[in-house]
């Protein structure tokens, strides 16, 4: 089983990237599970017709010990299994702790044994890398972390913090850094700045995505651009990115 964590600051496009990678992998015959680890709980909406699915935390509150996998795992685009960890009631509780509880609940319910995914993708908020938000990289849930950034200062700052967190866990058997994904925003010098960031952490930029009209067009329809506009340049870039991600796991395929 290939286990991937995609990190990035809020609004950087990591959920769009995760959903398109999931869709591409599913078309290629992989059994995929995408797990949203952002309190906004919108990671999997593009795989579910634009609709949000019930979260693990919400369903746990409702059903308690009667909770079943069918209550929290939903089939999405191309058969991708969709899960949202969810977050606490606003103003109450810790979002990081919520992620820990949600992932532990999936394990207790035997999600990985029941669905037997070839690939698991964790979509994780990267503005903070403490507590539950760092759980996929430090608890053995993911094998590799891929960090999404643009050329904007705060995005690269957040990306550097995530890379630093991965480095700090090195040698403990935790997730390693798989590479940087550049989501271009048209900022001056963003290619060079992102390459410099990758060099700082002895990794590489494994893929770059350009801004285009097809992505928001597809998202208005509640679907990944690789499904709505499969012949577009954006879809081609997502397919190339998926190949680059898989290459980092060549020995596990």
Rounded CA separation 24/172 (Å): 32
Give the SS3 label for residue 146: strand
Of 3, 14, 144, 223, catalytic: 14
Contact between 120 and 112 (Cβ < 8 Å): yes
Is 40 tagged catalytic?
A: yes
Of 9, 81, 144, 223, catalytic: 9
Rounded CA separation 59/37 (Å): 15
CA 153 vs CA 112, 143, 181, 188: distances in Å: 38, 28, 15, 11
Spatial neighbors of 115 by CB under 8 A, at least 6 apart, are: 31, 33, 73, 81
List phi, psi (to 5°) of 47.
-95, 0
Is 144 tagged catalytic?
A: no
Of 42, 58, 71, 127, catalytic: 127
Contact between 117 and 29 (Cβ < 8 Å): no
Name which of 105, 84, 124, 119 is nearest 242 in CA terms.
119
Is 116 tagged catalytic?
A: no
Name which of 215, 223, 225 is nearest 51 in CA terms.
223
Is 63 tagged catalytic?
A: no
Rounded CA separation 233/229 (Å): 9
Active site residues: 9, 14, 40, 127
């Amino acid at each position: 089983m290939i286990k991937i964590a995609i990190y990035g600051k809020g609004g950087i496009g990591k959920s769009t990237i995760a959903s398109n990678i999931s869709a591409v992998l599913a078309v290629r015959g992989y059994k995929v599970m995408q797990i949203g680890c952002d309190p906004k709980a919108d990671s999997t909406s593009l795989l579910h017709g634009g609709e949000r699915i019930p979260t693990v935390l919400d369903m746990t509150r409702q059903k308690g010990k009667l909770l079943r996998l069918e209550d929290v795992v939903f089939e999405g685009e191309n058969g991708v299994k969709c899960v949202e960890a969810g977050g606490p009631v606003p103003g109450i509780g810790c979002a990081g702790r919520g992620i820990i509880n949600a992932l532990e609940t999936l394990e207790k319910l035997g999600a990985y044994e029941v669905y037997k995914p070839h690939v698991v993708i964790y979509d994780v908020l990267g503005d903070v890398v403490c507590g539950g938000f760092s759980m996929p990289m430090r608890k053995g849930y993911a094998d590799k972390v891929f960090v999404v950034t643009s050329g904007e200062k705060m995005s690269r700052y957040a990306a550097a913090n995530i890379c630093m967190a991965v480095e700090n866990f090195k040698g403990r058997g935790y997730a390693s850094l798989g590479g940087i994904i550049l989501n271009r925003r048209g900022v001056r010098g963003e290619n060079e700045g992102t390459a410099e960031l990758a060099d700082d952490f002895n990794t590489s930029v494994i893929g770059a995505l350009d801004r285009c009209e097809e992505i928001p067009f597809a998202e208005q329809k509640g679907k990944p651009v690789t499904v709505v506009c499969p012949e577009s340049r954006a879809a081609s870039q997502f397919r190339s990115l998926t190949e680059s991600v898989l290459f980092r796991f060549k020995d596990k395929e």
